[in-house]
């Protein structure tokens, strides 16, 4: 299945052009994170995917979420199918632009962040900068994690969360920091005084991370 997406192309595209893939949260769409484009590096290709499912509350979803039961928060099969689908589309877009020697970056918000965690930790050799916003690592979607810590050496993680997030508790997000620490991955974990979203300070720190 080919996902719909928005794309910002730089003036020149070579096999070494960096590409950033963006995955929005539950009930949103591809325009959400694409709003970051004006402050992202101008020489990057930026692709913002639209999730394939209509959500129960409008917008789109990568998989359904059970907001009434934290123990059955996601459907395992749907979650893993979403990871597989995104990976297929990343490879398809990368091939379409003839990118062969390029860095590939990921940015995911909330539900999109769960997929980004899964992709980065299952295929660490394929990615570089990883931004995870208002999310957490979902154990049901973390398979085949490489035990060789050297595999994670080139990954750089930026993980941020709101201290008053009522959708995904801060404690869930901190599990991501613990996991990355155990894997000896390079990461920064930032906590901001806001809810389930990205405030101005969070946004500026994220842009600084991408531009370094």
| Phi, then psi, of 155 in degrees rounded to 5 | -80, 145
- Whole-number pLDDT of residue 71: 61
- Model confidence, pTM: 0.95
User: Which residue do the tokens 């893939």 mark?
Assistant: 21
* Segments in the chain forming alpha helices (H): 31-34, 76-96, 111-122, 170-182, 200-211
**Would you list the domain boundaries of the chain?**
5-211
- For residue range 131-153, list pLDDT tens digits in order: 999 999 999 999 878 677 889 98
- For residue range 172-212, list pLDDT tens digits in order: 999 999 999 999 999 999 999 999 999 999 999 999 999 98
CATH number of 5-211: 3.40.50.1820
């Amino acid at each position: 299945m080919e996902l719909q997406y928005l794309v910002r192309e730089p003036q020149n595209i070579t096999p070494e052009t960096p590409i950033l893939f963006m995955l929005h949260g539950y009930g949103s769409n591809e325009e959400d994170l694409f709003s970051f484009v004006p402050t992202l590096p101008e020489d990057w290709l930026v692709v913002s995917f639209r999730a394939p499912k209509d959500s129960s509350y409008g917008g789109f979803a990568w998989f359904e979420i059970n907001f009434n039961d934290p123990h059955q928060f996601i459907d395992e099969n749907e979650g893993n199918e979403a990871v597989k689908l995104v990976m297929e589309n990343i490879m398809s877009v990368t091939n379409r632009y003839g990118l062969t020697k390029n860095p590939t970056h990921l940015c995911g918000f909330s539900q999109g962040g769960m997929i980004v965690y899964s992709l980065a930790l299952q295929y660490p050799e394929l990615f570089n900068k990883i931004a995870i916003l208002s999310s957490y690592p979902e154990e049901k979607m973390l398979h085949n994690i490489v035990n060789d810590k050297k595999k994670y050496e080139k990954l750089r993680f930026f993980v941020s969360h709101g201290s008053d997030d009522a959708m995904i508790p801060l404690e869930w997000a901190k599990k991501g920091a613990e996991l990355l620490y155990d894997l000896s991955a390079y990461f920064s974990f930032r906590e901001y005084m806001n809810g389930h979203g990205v405030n101005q300070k969070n946004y500026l720190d994220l842009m600084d991370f991408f531009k370094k």
